[in-house]
Structure 1
Amino acid sequence: MTSQTGTPDPYSNPLVFGQRLQILRQRKGMTRAQLGGLLGLTGSWVKSVETGRLQTPRLDVILQIAQVLRVGNLNELTGHDISVDLFAGPGHPRLAAVKTAVDSFPFRDQQGAPPAAHLRARLDTAWSARHKAPNHREVIGALLPDLIRDAQAAVHQAERAEERRKAQAILSETYSLCQFFVAYQPDAPLLWRVVERGLIAAQESEDPRAIGLAAWLAAQAHRDSGPAHFEAADSVTHDALAYLTPLLPDASDEVLAIAGALTFEAGYTAARRKETGVAWRFWDQARDMADHLPESYYDPVTSFSQAIMGAHAVTVAVELHAGGESVRQAAAADAVTIPSRPRRARHRIEEARGYQLDGQPDAALATLAKAYEAAPETIRYNGYAKAIILEEAESKTPARRRRASELAVRIGVLAA
């Protein structure tokens, strides 16, 4: 159907792409100009697609839209039954057990909780195992249920105020570990329960590092929920920094590191907004903070360190859609080895995004193959990696199409 002005009516068929795009954009609280800017296009282009003046975009553009709008399945955009979950994984086999542990409520008459020192040692072991394992979700998924229950019990059974605060700090950090497991899996309500419980336990602990860690992860959850939540991400980040800053002159390396991680988070969100100067200014501040840490220091939760700043620079450039700068920063960052396997895999994915932005799809695929080697479970749950692979699986270059299809099979987005 066409209107009197000759413009196709997007509402004559409730399943057309343009209408779906408009609904999803408005749900995220984004203007056409904002969406166009995040896509590297214009608000006029978005309007033309929504009103039907332009046809449905190519697959690579649809995938980019899905990334920006955090669309979980392409069916929401296209109306076709395309079983591609970009941001929510298929659900780890251990997700149900972890969820049960999070949702349980321990009573005082349960079996006695382990001492705080014992819980601390188990939590440290879990973080170490996460960094070393290529199948890190499987490893921490096996440890989390008992760790969550015991940490919950330790809080409930604590008799003295100081003992209870220590237990709350451990419980909060246990929820931090849990958030790494739950992220990008198909249970958003569970993710937010974990975030909120981590924040509450951290506040009850009165421990600066626990408070900083919980805020750092809460800010990430808000930012990854889309542009409508960027202000909430900034609020959490800046409130936490305002609390920590007066403590820094006499702070431990662990507290200095979480302040540095939060400073970079402020830059990360600014980069998502395409605020170039603000993003790089926060990165510079975070780099200066990293330089005040021992060269060998590597934070077991945030990965904040001197070694990670090159990877952070790649992330800023990629989020700013600066392809050439992304590649330049990736070349500089490659001189440093990141100790954590999942964090190294994530860095490779960011590098691949940079190569894709710079028009180097073969380099992007080669880099994603390195990400798979470092930590297969990281790439399996990463929407950006899936988007690149699926786009190149339709390449007109046979060799590239074959490489992308083989990688798609390995990570489980295409059937063998």
Structure 2
Amino acid sequence: MSADTPPDPYANPVAFGQRMQILRERRGMSRTVLGGLLGRSTDWVKQVENGRMRPPGLDAVLRIAQALRVRDLADLTGHPGMRVDLFIGPGHPRLAAVRAAVDALPVRDPQAAPPPPSHLAARLARAWAARHSAPDHRERIGALLPDLIHDAQLAVQHAERPTEWRAAQAALSEVYSLSQFFLAYQPDPSLLWRVAERAMVAAQQAADPHAVGVAAWLLAQAHRDAGPDHYDAADAVTRQAIDHLTPSLPDAGDDLLAITGALTFEAGYTAARRGETATAWRHWDAAQVMATRLPESYFHRVTSFSQAIMGPHAVTVAVELHAGPESVRQAARADAGTIPSRPRRARHRIEQARGYQLDGQPEAALATLSQAYEAAPETIRYNGYARSIILEETESKVTARRRRAAELAVKVGVLAA
């Protein structure tokens, strides 16, 4: 082994600080950058690495693992079997209140008056509008969710007729679906799973095909984002949901057609994650056919499925297949300006940036991420792919690019100002 080669942290038992230094150097990251990511000084990093300071607590270890882009905590701790998701972002200030609302025991209070169904529906509509139009969409829906969760549960408890009860369950399922957009990339995966499962249970109780489709779409995403071990589960959920909805398609309205199209694309998304090129594009083609049956101005408020979204979906397929030139070609064809949702537009910019990075165009990647930030700061702030690209470029040997990446890193919050 060359003297310049960083040692293997498993070759001999080493202390936490030594592991931290080895992994930092493998990333080509300076102590200054790591300290900035952790909100600590360069001297603090040095003291931990040199063993002059006791190993930090679990919360700090998790932050270090995220900053160093470590998936297995054993790389830091030496204790096997501890995993950390690289793409979990920092906790949102509203997370604790949302968690409390989800965890609260929904005991029936006979004195509490449930909101009228029309009032609950109007509040949901406003919440979805905020989700799509506000740059700080997480803040906006995070502020609305605790009361929405409580009141939707209340509506279910006080429903007197079967039709009212099923309608209330459909509304509750939609509230939980909205919650999943807030909880995505938050440091509480168990909470996301509870909400995803409750959305499906409420949708099934409602016997509402559209609600079942939406809940399945989000549940499939939760499985896929949990990693390769869950891809089969994601496929199973998607396939079963499409089979459930298919008999209704000949007379389907726009919403039911859209959720079926969204599920069809999700099957392609998972195939792309597996590296199955032909299957991924076949599902994209099938979803495109469904999109063309929708009015040009239609936009599904949960999934964003529409004619306008199929171009960005093509970028996602190419990126997930790690096809740099193809992703750039698809990005050139997709018109982000036709996407009415700010966070979805920002996510498309992030996918474009991934494509540019794959194609060896880091300057274009950074410029596109800046566009994502302008569209919806809270989307890029909690997106692991965006954070990863920015971090890589803060270590660029090109001075102008390194400076630009550092400025964006400070805006996004991955480096301290």
TM category (shorter chain) comes to: 0.7 to 0.9
The aligned counterpart of 1:282 is 283
Write the deviation string for residues 235-273 of structure 1: whole angstroms up to 9, x where unpaired: 100000000001101111000000000000000000000
Q: Is the 8 A contact 2:336 2:348 kept in 1?
A: no
1:88 aligns with 2:83: no
What CA deviation, in whole Å up to 9, does each residue of 1:309-360 have, x standing for no partner? 0000000000000000000000000365210000000000000000000000
Query: Structure 1 residue 79 and structure 2 residue 79: aligned?
Result: no
User: Aligned runs of 1:15-414 on 2, under 5 Å?
Assistant: 56=26, 72=66, 74=68, 76=73, 79=76, 86-104=86-104, 105-334=106-335, 336-414=337-415
* Change in 2 beyond 3 A, CA 1:9/1:394: closer
CA–CA distance in 2 between the matches of 1:265 and 1:15? 43
Aligned CA distance change for structure 1 residues 85 and 199 (closer, same or farther; 3 Å): closer
Contact in 2 for aligned 1:352/1:365 (Cα 8 Å): yes
Q: Is the 8 A contact 1:106 1:152 kept in 2?
A: no
Aligned mates of 1:250, 1:269 — CA distance in 2: 28
> Structure 1: which 5+ residue stretches go unaligned?
2-7, 21-54, 60-70
- Segments of structure 2 that go 5 or more residues without pairing to the other structure are 2-7, 30-64, 78-83
Shift of 1:182: 0.7
Normalising by structure 1, we get a TM-score of 0.83
User: Contact 1:127–1:300 at 8 Å: present in 2 too?
Assistant: yes
8 Å CA contact retained: 1:86, 1:382:
no
Residue pair 2:324, 2:358 contacting (<8 A) in 1 also: yes
**Paired residues, number:** 364
Q: Which amino acid counterpart does residue 189 of structure 1 have in structure 2?
A: S
Pairwise CA RMSD of aligned residues? 2.5
SS of the equivalent of 1:414 reads coil
Whole-angstrom CA distance in 2 between matches of 1:179 and 1:195:
7
CA contact (8 A) 1:113 1:154 kept: yes
The one-letter code matched in structure 2 to 1:87 is F
Deviations 1:171-227 (A, max 9, x none): 000000000001100111111110010010000000011000000000000000000
Identity of matched residues, %:
68
Cα displacement (A) at 1:88? 1.9
SS in 1 for 2:185: coil
**Letter paired with 1:97:** A
Instruction: Quote the offset at 1:115 in angstroms.
Output: 1.4
SS at structure 2 position matched to 1:91: coil
TM-score, normalization by structure 2: 0.83
Cα contact 2:336–2:345 (8 A) shared by 1? no
> Which letter maps to 2:219?
A
Distance 1:10 1:93, change over 3 A: closer
How far apart, CA to CA, are the structure 1 residues paired with 2:220 and 2:228?
Answer: 13
Match of 2:338, SS state, is: coil
CA, structure 1 residues 99+9, in 2 after alignment: closer, same or farther (shift >3 Å)? closer
1:415 and 2:412 matched: no
Residues in 2 aligned to 1:121 and 1:335: alpha-carbon distance in whole angstroms: 29
8 Å contact kept, 1:254–1:299: yes
In 1, are the aligned partners of 2:28 and 2:395 still within 8 Å (CA)?
no
Q: How far is the alpha carbon of 1:159 from its aligned partner? A: 1.1
